[in-house]
Structure 1
Amino acid sequence: MAVFTSVTLEDLAPWMTQFPLGKALAIRGIASGIENSNFFIDTEQGEFVLTIFENLNFEQLPFYLKLMRHLADRDVLVPAPIANADGELCVALHGKPAAIVSKLSGSSQMEPLPVHCAEVGTMLARMHLAAQDFTIYQPNLRSLDWWQVTVPKVLGFLSDANRQLMQDEIAFQSSFAQTPTYRALTQGPVHADLFRNNVMFDGDKLTGFFDFYFAGCDSWLFDVAVTINDWCIDLATGELDLPRVNAMLNAYHAVRPFTPEESLAWQAMLRAAAFRFWLSRVFDFYQPRDAEMLTPHDPTHFERILRLRVSQVVAPLPQ
């Protein structure tokens, strides 16, 4: 877990007076995430989540927080940001942007079955459609532009084989982004990080998506590919598990049908989703930041997935 900024109950007490939640009674760090400092806080009005943003600034944060509010108001299951007395969703704490959101019930499903994947597919499609009329634009900050800047920073840490793989894939993705097929993909706000640990379940019932702080505007298909590459694989090998893949894709397609261009782009997007997380994990592994508790993710997991998505033909999308 990353806790870059320490917060005590004594720190929290005066800061909490601006929110309609009563007194803060307890605070404890959340054991996940490597980008922000996250805490559960017990208040007189119940349990909430406090996030202190370590990389995002006050100008960037309205996109994320207002997107979550927009989705929550349209019955998409996401944490709802809590406004202070001035209507602000983001307020400085220890000189850094901070926000409080409602806490979702349930727990993460780390060994998903097809029924769980279907629930995620349905809610992901609903989320995409509900965000169509969201008026704030921000690009996905970990998309192609970031890849092109970051690849040269990490090549020197890689083996010859992995250096070649990274150079080949950034060339492929840069070229594919210029094609009519890519440009025809439906775009809009996406979660962009919808891993198993960012979704809550109560039994087989999905109770919410959270951690929207990698969200941005990108192709909806990229969001689906990121999700498939985590939820629908054998974690040891990276191989796609077809019953789970089919459950998620069919459930998504039933709410928001895939387009012909998305069918053509499917394998390229699975590659892009694998590449994005391989690159970011390589970067975090070799150029770590200081934190009280920080364990970088193993880059080899997504290297393995990328090699599979490049070498193996994937089943087509539902039509």
Structure 2
Amino acid sequence: MSVYTLIERQQLSEFLNTYDVGSLVDFEGISAGIENTNYFVDTEKGRFVLTIFEHHCHQELGYFLDIMAFMAEHQIPTAHPKADLEGHYLKTLAGKPAALVERLKGKTLDHPNQEQCEVMAQALAKFHLAGMQFDRYRANDRDLNWAQAVIEQIKDLMSADDQVLAGNELAFQATVDWTGLPQSVIHADLFTDNAMFEGSVLTGIIDLYYACHGACLYDLAVMVNDWCRNSDNCIDFDKLSGVLAAYQRVRPLTEVEHSTWNAALRMASFRFWLSRLKDKLIPREGEMTMIKDPAVFRDVLVFHRKNR
């Protein structure tokens, strides 16, 4: 959610004229995150988030926006995309795909408490159950093939220790069989900055632009690695225990999922370590750009490799 594409007020006003949202009042760029350009947009009729997509094509963006609408319409708190006057969610702005979605109440969390972690876990289980009924498919584009390609791209820029760790983890993950695990639509990026809360009430799950079809267990592992992580990048076992219990009150894990849990935690940390490391070693230019520390998820990966 860095700002890579700058837009002018008149340009945005003309874009908003194709919606029933009233005239533009104010807008500002959002610096948090790293993938797309995002703006807060206030109009006479509401508050919205405008996303300009920097990497995705129109075809796959329809999938993301349909998921957001599907989940919102199945009582999963999600930002519903706004349709234009012709009923379209996806538009073009500054020559790039763009979408306007409702701006949810509440705020993201830096340090979620035990109750908020458990609320999020239950909502994620409901998200997975609902997603099993979603009839469209998108493969995970951050899988092991992606990891191998990233390592190849940045290996000459990596430290010797990082090269060894990445190679060892890649070899381990290649032995993991994910085919027998329950599958659904997964968020695939459910960090604390992608959920809105008012106190202990979850008001919305946001930023579904990595959503895909995948193992529910992997999605839970992505959530745990961020929501249950201590300041020293180890996992808080009290939070972890509460999250697993809360999730399973909605969707109990299978025996195979229990046996694959450590591998899922490792794959989730491996994926975000590599993506952050790539962004650090090969940075992209943006007007307001946030590069997140790859060492965080390197530490989490090492923790899970030692605590099986």
> 1:70-118: CA deviations, max 9, x gaps?
0000010010001112221110001000000011111112111110111
CA distance in 2, matches of 1:253, 1:89: 34
Match of 1:9 in 2: 9
Q: CA deviation at 1:31?
A: 2.7
Within the candidate set 262, 265, 280, 1:267 is matched to 262
Percent identity between matched residues is 37
Match of 1:95 in 2: 95
Match of 1:291 in 2: 286
Within the candidate set 199, 202, 212, 1:216 is matched to 212
The 5 A counterparts of 1:229-308 are 229-235=225-231, 237-308=232-303
CA distance in 2, matches of 1:295, 1:133: 36
Amino acid at match of 1:307: V
Q: CA deviation at 1:145?
A: 2.1
SS in 1 for 2:59: coil
CA distance in 2, matches of 1:144, 1:24: 44
> 1:266-318: CA deviations, max 9, x gaps?
000000000000010111111111111113111111111111111112xxxxx
SS in 2 for 1:285: helix
Match of 1:58 in 2: 58
Amino acid at match of 1:288: P
Match of 2:224 in 1: 228
Cα pair 1:22 1:45 within 8 Å, conserved: yes
| Count of equivalent residues | 308
The 5 A counterparts of 1:1-319 are 2-176=2-176, 179=177, 182-235=178-231, 237-313=232-308
Amino acid at match of 1:130: A
Q: CA deviation at 1:200?
A: 0.8
Alignment RMSD? 1.0
> 1:18-67: CA deviations, max 9, x gaps?
11211111111123121101011111111011000001111110110000
Single out whichever of 262-271 and 157-166 deviates more from structure 2: 157-166
Q: CA deviation at 1:150?
A: 1.3
CA distance in 1, matches of 2:191, 2:138: 21
CA distance in 2, matches of 1:264, 1:31: 39
CA distance in 1, matches of 2:98, 2:203: 24
Runs of 4+ in 1 over 2 A off after TM superposition: none
Cα pair 1:77 1:209 within 8 Å, conserved: yes
Cα pair 2:52 2:98 within 8 Å, conserved: yes
TM-score after normalising by structure 2: 0.98
